[in-house]
Structure 1
């Protein structure tokens, strides 16, 4: 087992409809329904655990069947829950997935909105031994700030996944962030919000490395930015201070060919696997760490669902590392 990863974030009960195509405004379509666990935080915690990390998850839950689902699943996965219990419905999400795997999502925060800095500070003793802390913004930013401040004091590497896309990131949180992991839309929106730059998200993957590197340096001058580009893989940009190993300032890692049926949670799979890879080997080559995470995320798209679609480390080895595995 690797050193620990701490995840701060949300748990949702997902309500998912699979349809041939996403509905137009005012349109009603027939589809197949299923329900299961999700929330960016829980997805990432499951991904980190299945990728091999000792994982602890700080969250807020209600006192309802959704909360019991979270606790039972975490126990089954071997995730240590650092949960605040509140008199509020556990978070929910409505998800539509089309025949190509694209999705649209509406989130009802519920208890997630009650996670606070006091609770995170109160469980800080459970951060002992952790090497990486990962957070998103489906919970209040003050809770994330408290966690990252504690991580900085303890020398824990921080990863901020600035999602959802319209979430505000205060300057003080950027200053506590070692790795930022936006997708194309999130990157574009944060550049506009934080830097006043208008960048078309749909053309990001086609930009030159030099152009993307410049944009990344604007967003997070002192940290590493990893932009996830869907089927095109990822682009990473490092500051000068992070290149003592002589590695490149920026690099791309391509995604492997997979038979994607549902992209829900793929970004969370990447983030959880990235956290686990960094925790397992802080001195590992960045390209190797990113390849590990990209492969993990790609495999997650071959299953339906969010948290439970996360592959296990054994599946990653069988698919990509064992002799005779397909590329």
Structure 2
């Protein structure tokens, strides 16, 4: 039985590091490494490395990258994976270029992720009924996202949707099936434009917190956490049903000081850390967000995505101000 179920993408990362991102038509020299990744898989690894039993549902093909996924999972103590095999496709792959300032450019070929089936998720509905938290994102077949959130609602699990990458098939109805959404600044702006026809403008974050709260309420989701990189996040909460310990309102949460060298996967680390934090702190959202920010921050001090996700002991050694987890007894 797992505390957290993550339904999402597995992508093999082909990562390049160079001092400056190449301009169109330009070739630059750099270094290379390959490793496990994908938004869903990164979230699952980030969560499981906090000592929270986690199950991952995703899709791969029958190729060498699928073997790498299985080998990675075999070495993760608190993580198990259920993988749908798509013979007529390829395992997801991403080309990632990171510069000397930790900025990145990414191109993803979803492959098998785009064909993760609704039926595969349905057949594993029992996993959701045992889970406290269900996490998903948009780097896969949108029908599987819909099924994931529907089953999570039926099972009374808290559902977290990372609405990235922005998907033109995302609807207001689907978004509002989630209990929590975790967009970054640009993703949140895109959501407002795509779903509600509201253009916040270029000076979006110069608005007052009360105005930002109003924009968050447009989403119709109980808990909206807009991540703002090194400056922390803006949190809007309303219509909660008692499962998360917050009343109505909004607040800002700061981010820890880190020496970032690669921000690829930081948002995934936050979402996975948030899921783990909700389990560890018994749905105390402020403690869970503080914990998630530390997981995400520490992940940026390492190269890669899934391999860069920190372990619980590393997080607590680095950020000693974090509260101790609440006993599950």
* Category of TM-score, reference length = shorter chain: over 0.9
Residue by residue, what CA displacement relative to the aligned partner does 1:48-72 show, whole Å, maximum 9, x if unpaired?
1012211000100111110011111
SS for the counterpart of 1:251 is strand
Contact 2:281 2:287 in 1 (8 A): no
Cα distance change on mapping 1:252 and 1:313 into 2, 3 Å: same
Q: 1:29 to 1:160 in 2, by over 3 A?
A: same
Q: Which deviations, in whole Å up to 9, do the C-alpha atoms of 1:157-215 show, x marking residues without a partner?
A: 10000001345422231231000110011100000001101124x64444321121111
Structure 1 residue 282, shift from structure 2 partner: 3.5
2:302 maps to which residue? Answer: 303
Kindly tell me: are residues 50 and 138 of structure 1, through their superposed partners in 2, closer, same or farther at Cα, counting changes over 3 Å?
A: same
Query: Equivalents in 2 of 1:242, 1:24: separation in Å?
Result: 50
- The answer on 1:47 being equivalent to 2:31 is no
Look up the match of 1:57: 56
Corresponding residue for residue 9 of structure 1 = 8
Contact 1:251-1:287 at 8 Å conserved across structures: no
Equivalent position SS for 2:96: strand
Once the two structures are TM-superposed, the CA of residue 268 in structure 1 deviates from its matched residue by 0.3
What is the distance in 2 between the residues matched to 1:128 and 1:57?
A: 15
Q: Could you tell which deviates more after superposition, 163-172 or 63-72?
A: 163-172
The alignment partner of 2:53 has SS state of: strand
Query: Which position in structure 2 is the counterpart of 1:217?
Result: 217
Map of 1:109-124 to 2, 5 A cutoff? Answer: 109-124=110-125
Q: How much does 1:248 deviate?
A: 5.7
- In the aligned structure 2, how far is the partner of 1:278 from the partner of 1:3? 14
Task: Give the match for residue 264 of structure 2.
Answer: 264
Change over 3 Å in CA distance of 1:29–1:175 after alignment to 2: same
Query: Higher mean Cα deviation, 21-30 or 243-252?
Result: 243-252
Q: Distance in 2 between matches of 1:130 and 1:260?
A: 33
Q: Secondary structure at the match of 2:5?
A: strand
> 1:166–1:189: 8 Å Cα contact kept in structure 2?
no
Taking a change above 3 Å as real, the CA distance of residues 245 and 267 of structure 1, as seen in their structure-2 partners, is closer
Deviation at 1:20, TM superposition (A): 1.1
User: How many residues are treated as equivalent by the alignment?
Assistant: 319
- Following superposition, the deviation at residue 241 of structure 1 comes to 3.8
The question of 1:82 aligning with 2:76 is answered no
Q: Could you tell me which runs of 5 or more consecutive residues in structure 2 were left unpaired when the two chains were aligned.
A: 323-329
Q: How many Å separate the matches in 2 of 1:82 and 1:71?
A: 10
Q: Residue 75 of structure 2 aligns to a residue in which SS?
A: helix
Q: Any idea what SS the aligned residue of 2:3 has?
A: strand
Query: Aligned to 1:321, what secondary structure does the other structure show?
Result: coil
**Counterpart mapping for 1:1-327 below 5 A:** 4-78=3-77, 79-87=79-87, 88-200=89-201, 203-219=203-219, 221-241=220-240, 247=247, 249-284=249-284, 286-321=285-320
The CA RMSD measured in Å over matched residues stands at 1.9
Deviations 1:111-141 (A, max 9, x none): 1111010100011122242011100111111
Partner SS, residue 319 of structure 2:
helix
Q: Match of 1:53, SS? A: coil
Unaligned runs of 5+ in 1: none
- In the superposition, the TM-score normalised over structure 2's length comes to 0.92
- C-alpha contact (below 8 Å) 1:137/1:167 kept by paired residues: no
CA contact (8 A) 2:4 2:133 kept: yes
Conservation of the 8 A alpha-carbon contact between 1:227 and 1:235 = yes
- Alpha carbons of 1:148 and 1:245: their partners in 2 closer, same or farther (altered >3 Å)? closer
Q: What TM-score, normalized by structure 1, do the two folds share? A: 0.93
Aligned residue in 1 for 2:325:
none
